[in-house]
Structure 1
Amino acid sequence: MQKEQQQLAELVKGKKVAFIGAGVSHKTLIEEFVGLGAQVTLCDKKNSVEDFGDYADTIRRLGIDLSLGEHYMDGFKGQDIILRTPGFEYYQKPLQDAIAAGTMVTSEVELFFDYCPCEIVGVTGSDGKTTTTTLISKFYEAAGRKVHLGGNIGAALLPMLPDVAPEDVAVVELSSFQLISMHKSPKIAVVTNVTPNHLDHHKDMQEYIDAKRNILLHQVPPCREVLGFENDITRGMVPDCKGKQVWFTRLHDTDNGAFLRKDGMLCMAEDGVVTPFLAQKDVKLRGLHNIENLLAAAAAVWGEVPIEVIQKVGSTFTGVEHRIEPVRVLDGVTYYNDSIGTSPTRTIAGLRSFDQKVILIAGGYDKHIPYEPLAPEVIAHVKNLVLMGATGPRIEKAVREHPDFAASGLAIQHADSMQHAVELARAAAQPGDIIILSPASASFDLYPNFEVRGREFKSIVNALK
């Protein structure tokens, strides 16, 4: 057992440890913690062990204590350690009461940060996190470094700990829910932007911003901070920076960071030297927002990987699933899956990626974020709008109340399912048209996550005759 794993074992051996929920990462960790000698309690809204399905056998085999049902948070009392999931709101009273009583409240990601022996690069923001994080990992891999990729991007990091060597690099996508209680920050931190999001879970916008700031607040020099210049909130985070702060921007030249020059070259300016490293025309990623993601990733790894690697990856990487992902061409109509469009700003970026008006499928779960900023973009970029879900009426109201709506000729229809939405969009399409799913809303009304939503859309489209 390596040193870091030994330290983790010393932390949990003989301790009472409560896990909130049995998601994928917790299932792995519960087994590990029981093996390390912890007395584990699983706290979950489910009412009985049978409700866990196949996992019920594992619960019985491991001898896990259960605190279930409406009062599942009663299981927090008397615990030495509580591991929360990102989706569990940090400031709920039972959790804060446990902290006040001396319980250590942490998470899988926080424990990884505590014990990880290698350099960590962290990425957060309202938009562009996953593409930026993936690009950074590709840069390091192409440069010959062993990369541990995880966090909000889908893979649990703590179970990777036994395989992490000091010379490796961990590239971590971090959500506001993960960051809100973090007490360590990565050596290299990227904040893409901060726009209204997840206001159904955060008390207010300030709490959301403060959670994002945690990626910077606990850095220890030497360190690096990459901030989006075009966003007022990220631009205002400069006082939080303790190391070498650089920008990324596609709209302005800068003498400190990565930018898109007016001649179409992606450049990096540092220490008075401007280095062009890639032509925009050679970038395979679709959309100007992805130029920003590429600039952010390049600024993060600048000086850590050779320029030739940035050029090679930047000119060959084609994107991540569910992000303006081409699905198929049928009857001359091209279908795109942009299910990652869980907020208006993401959908706006997707719409601006096309030089023609599109047929847009939008709507979903309501995160209580404003849709007025989406209205002029829909009017400018959409010829037919198909709406579904709880936010469908809210999006329609914002669009219809915009002063340019009456003259736009925009048609609006409502669907009661994804299948229905695809059928309506197809019926409205002519050869040469583009149909894109970019909901500007979360998926939780009908789907567990945006990935499942995107895959159902692709399945329906691919099944069309």
Structure 2
Amino acid sequence: MKSVLVIGSARSGTAVSKLLLKKGFEVYLTDSGIVSNKEELETLGVKVYDEGHPDTLKEINYEFVVKNPGIPYTVAFIDYFVKQGSKIYTEIEVASWYAKEFHYGAITGTNGKTTTVSILYALLKKHGTSYVAGNIGIPLSEVVLEHEKEDANIALELSNFQLLGMESFKPKVSVVTNLAPDHLDYMKDLDAYYESKMKIYRNTDQEDYFLRNIDDEEIMKYAKNIPCKIIDYSLEKKADLYLKDNLVYYKDTYLFDIKTLKLVGKHNISNSMVAACMAYLLGVSIEEIQIGLHEFTSVEHRLEYVGEKDRIRFFNDSKATNAEAVVPALESFDKNIILLAGGYDKKLSFDILKPYDNRVKCCFSFGETKKEFKNIFSHVEELDTMEEAFDKAVQLAKPGDVILLSPACASYDQFTSYEQRGKIFKEYVYSYLNGGR
């Protein structure tokens, strides 16, 4: 029996361990923390080592290693296998080996991934059997375990961490939505980060499609030697996929009218264009696309409308974990924005936000980066926590104002994830709307 090592449990580690067991491998799973479902996995036959990585695991000859994408290759235990020349894959790469009738619409990029993949999934569901997986929080291995034999379309969100561990993954349609500085605490440099995104089309051929955003200078610089069919798209220029008089066309085919969209912001027009074209190429009809786009409202934590009181509106944009992700939110409102920003310091610049100073009534900054916004906006008040920032924002707000959580930072200084941060923000809002604050 061939052995495999899974490093990092979480949801994806658990799922890929179960899948590999089913495929006849001897599975070793190790985690630096406590594996909460250890008893369940051991009952199934997984050999679990938690609260550290014992050296005895290095003595076993593995067919390959599956690494949680969030663990850097520079961690000592991982680095040992890198230096040994071991094959190191991600969970998605492994899962893709086994579902031969899955057709992937794969989406990566610095910003807009989750919204675009959520729209794509909504459109694919209108047509037939489809699933959503990947960086959005659902391991592909879970989908494969339950639906391996099905002929299905998959809306798949990919981080660059996941793409680093891809060897044979081949999407039918793929896109890099945009490129902006991020994850410099993980990647060697910005060039390495941008190059990692381009791995999404590495294994494609002339039966596949890559959507290229010609409005993004960095994509045009890095998207080279593309082996599949290229579909250029633009909000501003004539392209294969384009916007004209509020109507979106793919070549000569009319897809939809942007006036029917319920999403706000120019960036969401682009996200909808991409999702619609990808769905069309995966077999969804024009009518199904138009119905799906009209029905789609929002993605949780991504410029999500939370509520309104006394003509003060609240939006949760907790997924904006870098400055570039905040720009679309600021562009969605002309003025009177009360911005809540700050969090874990990824050593990124916020200068790109300076041109929006005239739209920001006040920025209440919090967390590790609270001092970093004083040179970005004219009106800034530094606070320790998001709760303090929220309370100050409510005190300042007048009818017509927008209170916007769009942190421009990761959450790890005070929260376990951007999801937790967003949910807590919404709890503050609901409490305020019900007279509790």
Secondary structure at the residue paired with 2:374?
helix
Q: For structure 1, which segment, 72-81 or 442-451, has the greater mean C-alpha deviation from structure 2 after superposition? A: 72-81
Please state how far the C-alpha of 1:19 moved relative to its aligned partner.
Answer: 1.8
Secondary structure at the residue paired with 1:350?
helix
Secondary structure at the residue paired with 1:448?
coil
Conservation of the 8 A alpha-carbon contact between 1:20 and 1:42: yes
Q: Give the letter for the 1:302 counterpart.
A: Y
Q: For structure 1, which segment, 281-290 or 36-45, has the greater mean C-alpha deviation from structure 2 after superposition? A: 36-45
Q: Give the letter for the 1:179 counterpart.
A: L
The TM-score, its normalising length taken from structure 1, stands at 0.86
Identity of aligned residues (%): 29
Which of 184, 201, 206 is the aligned partner of 2:191? Answer: 206
Secondary structure at the residue paired with 2:319?
coil
Secondary structure at the residue paired with 1:19?
strand
Q: Does 1:155 align with 2:138?
A: yes
Distance 1:312 1:394, change over 3 A: same
Counterpart Cα distance in 2 of 1:414 and 1:356: 21
Conservation of the 8 A alpha-carbon contact between 1:222 and 1:243: yes
Q: Which residue of 2 aligns with 1:293?
A: 271
Q: Which residue of 2 aligns with 1:168?
A: 152
Distance 1:329 1:384, change over 3 A: same
Q: Does 1:103 align with 2:81?
A: no
Conservation of the 8 A alpha-carbon contact between 1:90 and 1:181: no
1:25-104 equivalences in 2 (<5 Å): 25-34=12-21, 38-46=25-33, 51-52=34-35, 54-58=36-40, 61=43, 64-69=46-51, 75-80=57-62, 81-90=64-73, 92=75, 94-101=77-84, 103-104=86-87
Distance 1:74 1:384, change over 3 A: farther
Q: Does 1:349 align with 2:328?
A: yes
Q: Does 1:424 align with 2:392?
A: yes
Counterpart Cα distance in 1 of 2:189 and 2:11: 29
1:124-135 equivalences in 2 (<5 Å): 124-135=108-119
Please state how far the C-alpha of 1:72 moved relative to its aligned partner.
Answer: 5.2
Structure 2 segments unaligned to the other structure (5+ residues): none
Q: Give the letter for the 2:268 counterpart.
A: N
The TM-score, its normalising length taken from structure 2, stands at 0.91
Counterpart Cα distance in 1 of 2:125 and 2:4: 36
1:262-341 equivalences in 2 (<5 Å): 263-269=245-251, 274-303=252-281, 304-341=283-320
Counterpart Cα distance in 2 of 1:238 and 1:78: 40
Conservation of the 8 A alpha-carbon contact between 1:76 and 1:82: no
Q: Does 1:193 align with 2:178?
A: yes
1:399-429: CA deviation from partner (whole Å, max 9, x where unpaired): 16xxxxxxxxx42112222221110100110
Q: Which residue of 2 aligns with 1:456?
A: 424
Q: Which residue of 2 aligns with 1:18?
A: 5
Counterpart Cα distance in 1 of 2:216 and 2:135: 22
Q: Which residue of 1 aligns with 2:364?
A: 386
Q: Which residue of 2 aligns with 1:364?
A: 343
Q: For structure 1, which segment, 455-464 or 82-91, has the greater mean C-alpha deviation from structure 2 after superposition? A: 82-91
Distance 1:440 1:72, change over 3 A: farther
Conservation of the 8 A alpha-carbon contact between 1:119 and 1:166: no
Counterpart Cα distance in 2 of 1:305 and 1:224: 15
Counterpart Cα distance in 2 of 1:142 and 1:165: 21
Which of 95, 119, 124 is the aligned partner of 1:112? Answer: 95
Conservation of the 8 A alpha-carbon contact between 1:116 and 1:164: yes
Q: Give the letter for the 1:364 counterpart.
A: G
1:50-95: CA deviation from partner (whole Å, max 9, x where unpaired): x44x434335545654555565577345341321111012355643
Conservation of the 8 A alpha-carbon contact between 1:90 and 1:180: no
Counterpart Cα distance in 2 of 1:439 and 1:65: 40
Please state how far the C-alpha of 1:248 moved relative to its aligned partner.
Answer: 2.0
Q: Which residue of 2 aligns with 1:8?
A: none
Which of 411, 414, 419 is the aligned partner of 2:382? Answer: 414
Q: Which residue of 2 aligns with 1:3?
A: none
Q: Give the letter for the 1:83 counterpart.
A: V
1:234-285: CA deviation from partner (whole Å, max 9, x where unpaired): 123443312220122212222x2x2221x2222222xxxx333322222111
Counterpart Cα distance in 2 of 1:131 and 1:42: 32
Secondary structure at the residue paired with 1:41?
strand
Counterpart Cα distance in 2 of 1:433 and 1:85: 42
Counterpart Cα distance in 2 of 1:60 and 1:70: 17
Conservation of the 8 A alpha-carbon contact between 1:45 and 1:72: no
Q: Give the letter for the 2:323 counterpart.
A: P
Distance 1:66 1:169, change over 3 A: closer
Counterpart Cα distance in 2 of 1:187 and 1:36: 25
Conservation of the 8 A alpha-carbon contact between 1:120 and 1:171: yes
Secondary structure at the residue paired with 1:455?
helix
1:127-146 equivalences in 2 (<5 Å): 127-143=111-127, 145-146=128-129
Structure 1 segments unaligned to the other structure (5+ residues): 1-13, 401-409
Q: Give the letter for the 1:44 counterpart.
A: D
Q: Give the letter for the 1:331 counterpart.
A: D
Q: Which residue of 2 aligns with 1:9?
A: none
Q: For structure 1, which segment, 285-294 or 115-124, has the greater mean C-alpha deviation from structure 2 after superposition? A: 115-124
Conservation of the 8 A alpha-carbon contact between 2:323 and 2:350: yes
Counterpart Cα distance in 2 of 1:236 and 1:219: 20
Distance 1:91 1:230, change over 3 A: farther
Counterpart Cα distance in 2 of 1:104 and 1:413: 50
Please state how far the C-alpha of 1:107 moved relative to its aligned partner.
Answer: 2.0
Distance 1:101 1:44, change over 3 A: same
Distance 1:155 1:380, change over 3 A: same
Q: Give the letter for the 1:260 counterpart.
A: L
Conservation of the 8 A alpha-carbon contact between 2:4 and 2:28: yes
Conservation of the 8 A alpha-carbon contact between 2:30 and 2:52: no
Secondary structure at the residue paired with 1:234?
helix
Q: Give the letter for the 2:114 counterpart.
A: T
